[in-house]
Structure 1
């Protein structure tokens, strides 16, 4: 078999599984499965450089994924998004090297497209024809789009807290959709884990699906390439389940294992202050996060959860291993960050802007040095939550009549 992925291994019991086995969590103990690669062979046979890695989507890095035949790849042009250097926030914070990884420009408007392009493609390659996922909105839209494109039978369970726009977008892309009611996120986790053993239907939920987060390694590869072979000091990432942060951390570690860099970034997990279970665990030095907060009390829908899948151990491991941190941000901090990103030319939904809010908080409280290089991942477009845009920006108040005299007066009053 072609490719460098050699198997799946369980986080808990360390049992190995065939990479092409259609499994979600470990059949033996229920632990999370991780893809393992033959990195020495990869290092020997692949030269990682802009010149020898071609294409303008994340599939330019397909050698760093589990092997998939070309005919089974389902792509809509995801990945290789711009890394935008800040102008306004840099001036405000006195910090020269702030960058925004702009995944609002993905096919369905969010970073979820990386994971579902890979996960749906891999499922097709191993003969899986149907499946389901749970979503706060963005994942459901992405799963729906890539499933429809790939001829895959899909069911999306979208939480009732999601905006009407997000719910409608899932249906627009074609998946069967059901609104999920629940009392807390622990209840959802139990349901999803029981579904593995009792229903036998292949899942695409982050981490329960062992392939999806592999696509998030491309954050590390792209940023490394876009910074001219450098690694940032900090990477700020909004966290729901945490697949984006964990995948990026894995990618940076692969770059180091391949001898391409000896630097690793500090990984910063960002959540709403109203439900920041990772921050609470981090403050106590805990390796497992418990239930905390109320996810209904924030505008950051996509990252609002009162408990993580299997205690958030992977995300906490990445934080501790990297010397990073977990932060919580308020809605007011998020709205301020949305306005700043707007001036930078990026329309971000609240959850995305949370990464910028956390950077501002970190610089102002002294935990992030102004001399550092920081990348904030902007995970989803503002168009997903139009009401939040109105909260951040408001509606125009000025009026002008359609005559030259009226236009002249307003131009003069605005000193344009």
Structure 2
């Protein structure tokens, strides 16, 4: 059966508004829903479908092509992203007095971060839809990823990045031939500039969750986690969230796998981690609103410095549906965490990755996580990108 289905095409049927479920065509260029001004999400016909359709001879995220939105494989723009390793952190687990601690390491992706997944998908679908120019606001890694995939696709790329971003992240955009614009402020200011450029030039705005397809690339994280754990998921997944595409994508993958009767046992509790310097989702989760004196600041964890994420409702849905939690870590905790993990496990994680370890320590301390829980941390990028 598996061999007969290796060439199966995508099962996408339409896009849907994440608030009211109004339907949109996937065969024309779309941004976000015009009915509710919220993200669109891709829907697939999974009736009678099974995971036998996974192309096990493909060791990239495109092994799951049947649940991805690109219609003609000729439009796939790939740099061999995805299928990143999961390893056990046995020494850290022993230090924490827990049974099992795992790491999903996205640092080994092309361009050094999990952004490769979303931008491979977004650029591939843009190519299929005939888009010739793209613009993206970024805290760093997404801009480098879009620059790389646009270079391969022959699409003109413009990247809007905060001036305080690490030089490595700026230089990679230039090397890939992107037009780099630096501005004062955080990614929300970059987003405003991107909208202006899109309006004046006709470039397609690839802002986080303001188009439907980066999410589909990120959801392959969830498919890989399930497959690499032999379809028996961890008890807890700890995820560093800024714009939240990865968190939402992982959960979307799990729900699709439920439809295909592929997952054994209960779904994980999802833990959202942010920096104390910029933690809108923690405020919204705990209090239902941002504080009156809300003053978001930059963070060493560049990907966490997203002061006004577009997909807040979708992230909150994931936390509520999974009986999850949102919490913060300090900049000092992240800095010390990077060093501790390096010294104990020989791994140099991004500040975002270190934040997941510090968050796990908090969860154990308050009794939210148990010593018998199987806990998975997600490291979203390479330490070397932050120099």
TM-score by length of 2: 0.91
Structure 1 residue 95: deviation in Å? 1.1
Residue of structure 1 in register with 2:378 after alignment: 377
- 5 Å-filtered alignment, 1:239-318, equals 239-261=241-263, 262-284=265-287, 286=288, 292-296=294-298, 298-309=299-310, 312-318=312-318
Q: Which has the larger radius of gyration?
A: 1
Residue of structure 2 in register with 1:327 after alignment: 327
Please say if residues 289 and 308 of structure 1, whose CA atoms lie closer than 8 Å, have aligned partners that are also in contact: no
SS of the aligned residue for 1:269 comes to: strand
Q: Which residue, 80, 83, 89 being the options, matches 1:80?
A: 83
Give the Cα separation in 1 of the matches to 2:202 and 2:367: 49
Structure 1 residue 201: deviation in Å? 2.8
- Partner deviation per Cα, 1:303-333 (whole Å, 9 max, x = no partner): 11322225x1111111111111111001221
Q: Which residue, 14, 19, 31 being the options, matches 2:21?
A: 14
Give the Cα separation in 2 of the matches to 1:104 and 1:63: 25
Give the Cα separation in 2 of the matches to 1:3 and 1:290: 44
Give the Cα separation in 2 of the matches to 1:327 and 1:225: 28
Residue of structure 1 in register with 2:5 after alignment: none
Moved more, 255-264 or 367-376: 255-264
- Partner deviation per Cα, 1:385-405 (whole Å, 9 max, x = no partner): 23xxxxxxxxxxxxxxxxxxx
Structure 1 residue 124: deviation in Å? 0.8
RMSD after superposition = 2.2
Give the Cα separation in 1 of the matches to 2:317 and 2:178: 34
Please say if residues 24 and 196 of structure 1, whose CA atoms lie closer than 8 Å, have aligned partners that are also in contact: no
Please say if residues 281 and 290 of structure 1, whose CA atoms lie closer than 8 Å, have aligned partners that are also in contact: no
- 5 Å-filtered alignment, 1:78-117, equals 78-117=81-120
Q: Which residue, 24, 40, 43 being the options, matches 1:36?
A: 43
Moved more, 266-275 or 13-22: 13-22
Moved more, 147-156 or 258-267: 258-267
SS of the aligned residue for 1:104 comes to: helix
Number of residue pairs matched? 377
Please say if residues 32 and 212 of structure 2, whose CA atoms lie closer than 8 Å, have aligned partners that are also in contact: yes
Q: Which residue, 224, 227, 238 being the options, matches 2:226?
A: 224
User: Relative contact order: is structure 1 or structure 2 higher (C-alpha 8 Å, sep ≥ 6)?
Assistant: 2
Moved more, 266-275 or 361-370: 361-370
SS of the aligned residue for 2:51 comes to: coil
Gaps in structure 1 of 5+ consecutive residues: 387-416
